[in-house]
Amino acid sequence: MNDKGKELYDVIKGKINSMKEEDSLERQYWNFWKLGCFLKTKAHDLKNVYEDTSREFVDKYKEQLIKMREQVLENLDYYVEKCINVMRKANNFKVHYAKTNKEAHHIFMEELGDNKVVYKSKSNEAKDIGIIDFLKKNDIIIKETDLGDVLVQLFDYKLPSFQVGPGAHFSIDDIVAKIKEMHGVELEPKPSAIVDYYRKTYRKELLNNVKVSLTSANAISAEDGTIVLGENEGNISLLTRATEKHIVVCGIQKIVPTVLDAVLVAKIQSRINNVPFNYINLISGPSSTSDIRGINVLGMYGAKEVVIILVDEWRTKAIKENLFYKDYLKCISCRTCNFVCTAARAFGNIFASKYGWGATAILTDYIHNGIEAAVQDGLFFCTNCENCYHWCPVSINIGEIMKSIKKEAKKAGLCPPPLKEYQQKILKDKNPFK
Amino acid sequence: MTKLIYLGCLSLKNYEPTCKNAIKIIKFLDNEYKVLDDAPCCGSLAFNISSDEELKTHIQYVNNWFRANDITELVTICAGCYSYLTKYYKELLGTDFNVEIKHLLQFITEPRNLEKLDLQYSGKKLSINYHDACHLRNASKPIIEEPRIILKSIKNVNFNEMGYNKTNSICCGAGGGVYSIFKGNSDFNAKAIFDNMKKGKILLTACPFCYTALKRIKEENNIKKSIIKFEDFIANLMEGVDPIN
């Protein structure tokens, strides 16, 4: 192990020690998560209101979903071109194709113009693409709208949290106290009182003040350019309607062949997480009307302009060069791999990166920031148990991908010493315990 | 043509009585099987961090050792060895690898062997849980039904499924060499496995890595449930010894 390796190993050990401290943020998160993940996993086998369990639902469509994702990745150039053409010609979308994240950042700034505030939905893709960091650096005010993210912002919580429910680890009492501290309002310690507070205050702002909104997409249909966005709160509905300009930022892997495929992706995400998508938005253009003598005018009640920024960055390269993580492009971002992850259960949010939580967030960090970042995120916590693979609705073997990253870490002198010693003994003495 | 009992380096180092029990079972079922000294490690602990070249060199060494000793088939008691021998050896050596690999659980499940063993528990009806180890359930030829067939065949034994089982079992947290670096992974997960037993107080495992983690957690947390290695359980039943003592 080289000096850098030792430094990273110390960082990891420091994180573990923080997690052991009773009052640390890491510990608080883990206390919540270790129970949450088991309950969430168990929920897959429960028949709630449907005739089938969520696992049965996913199994019913798994083969179709895998075939569809593979078809897209094998013909990605074709689907990207088809999608862009139809979005421009039929949907009145303004479409940008950004080869790199950096290009996407600048396009976004140009689209933002003089606006200094962006209202955003959860948009993990925008985070992955680095838009959020870039906007912050440029003094753009980011206003979260998903309640979980609103709470994360309220607490100024800097540690990684779970992408599906980012604020779920805050206690009700803490939320109420924080609202009192920040807004001077005393609320009853009940979830309904907190929700009611934001409904009464923030909803008004969302209906009246939004000039530029940012969302990602659950999927985009190549046949008709429809953007599919699932949600349960209604924040995306407001952001995509009560705005002047709606900007969609996502990777090109979000494209699927048909609108039915796109809806299937959204339904799978909803069922696999046991999170209801009370609204599935299908957006095929800016708001318009032809009610005055049949003349089409854009921007009736909804967004006047819809801008799509499709980002390539590593994606085409991964396919063309057959990189070991290219299968990750099949991911539909359901995050179910996190619930069942051995390392995530044991290490909470210290098995995470700035892109979020769990193995896929570490992989994203590796892709963008290299091997040292992945090691620091807790790469070597992964036991390669392949629980992620067994549960993945598109059968991505994240365990195998993590194994390849570990090999690279070893090559770079970043492998933790005990593991390396075993390897050396096996290769030299043909027995790790001699 | 030699039939080999491949014990695996972890069991050989830490679990000598278990090795003796495994040998007893295998030789009782087929006396042609034998143990050879200095059998090399399959390399399982090195697989996650070694380059293809390093792995191939090691695998070729092991394969040459098999050839030099005229090994045509082997039975292993190690879940890790089974997983790696069946997956990577075939993958990296192709047709050059000609050893038939069986795990002890598969070997016991063969109808004639199960019949010959004719296992029964002589005490008060015994309630048994089985932990599906990742190495066995994830193998290219997964071992999932075999332990269930064996346990259900034993007279006076009640087999219980764990809350999370088969391909959804909880990993003990010791795999991938993680046990040597971050034992904390097992602190939570191995304990969760004990918590996941629905009925009965006996947990069987067929993986020495899982056993190591589960045993430590049981002792450190003063857990009143028993963790027993599959081989020990079977060997004790064969000899009429109570496996829970």
Residue extents of the structural domains in chain A: 3-43+335-429, 76-170+211-314
Interface pTM, i.e. ipTM: 0.92
Q: Which residues of chain B have pLDDT under 50?
A: none
Which of A398, A402, A426 should be substituted to probe chain B, the one whose Cβ sees the most B Cβ atoms within 10 Å? A426
Contacts of B12 in chain A (CB under 8 A): 433
- Residue B81 contacts A where some CB pair is shorter than 8 Å: no
Q: Are B48 and A407 inside 8 Å of each other by CB?
A: yes
- Check if CATH label 3.30.70 holds for domain B116-238: no
How do the domains of chain B map onto residue ranges?
2-109, 116-238
Residues in A closer than 8 angstroms to B186, CB to CB, are 346
Cβ contacts (< 8 Å) between A340 and chain B: which residues?
Answer: 168
Q: Report the pLDDT value the prediction gives residue A44, as an integer from 0 to 100.
A: 76
Q: B2-109 with B116-238: one CATH topology? A: yes
Q: What is the pLDDT of residue B245?
A: 65
Asked if the C-beta of A344 comes within 8 angstroms of chain B's C-beta atoms, the answer is no
State residue B183's pLDDT score. Answer: 82
Q: Do A346 and B57 touch (CB under 8 A)?
A: no
Max CA-CA distance within chain B?
55
B142 CB within 8 Å of a chain A CB: no
A317 inside 8 A of chain B by CB:
no
Residues of chain A with pLDDT under 50: none
Pair of tokens at residue A132? 């959020």
**For residue B243, what pLDDT is reported?**
85
Quote the pLDDT of residue B124: 87
Choose the mutation target among B171, B179, B214 for the interface with A, i.e. most A CBs under 10 Å.
B171
Q: Is B79 exposed, middle or buried (0-12, 13-18, 19+ CB in 10 A)?
A: buried
pLDDT value of residue A197: 97
Q: Quick one: fold of A76-170+211-314? A: Rossmann fold (3.40.50)
What's the confidence (pLDDT) of residue B40?
95
CB proximity A50 to B under 8 Å: no
Fold of B2-109: Rossmann fold (3.40.50)
CB contact under 8 A, B50 and A418: no
A15 in contact with chain B, both atoms CB, cutoff 8 A: no
d(CA A424, CA A153): 47
* Residue of chain A with shortest Cα separation from B40: A430
Contact residues on chain A for B163, CB-CB shorter than 8 A: 42
Q: How many CB pairs under 8 A join A and B?
A: 124
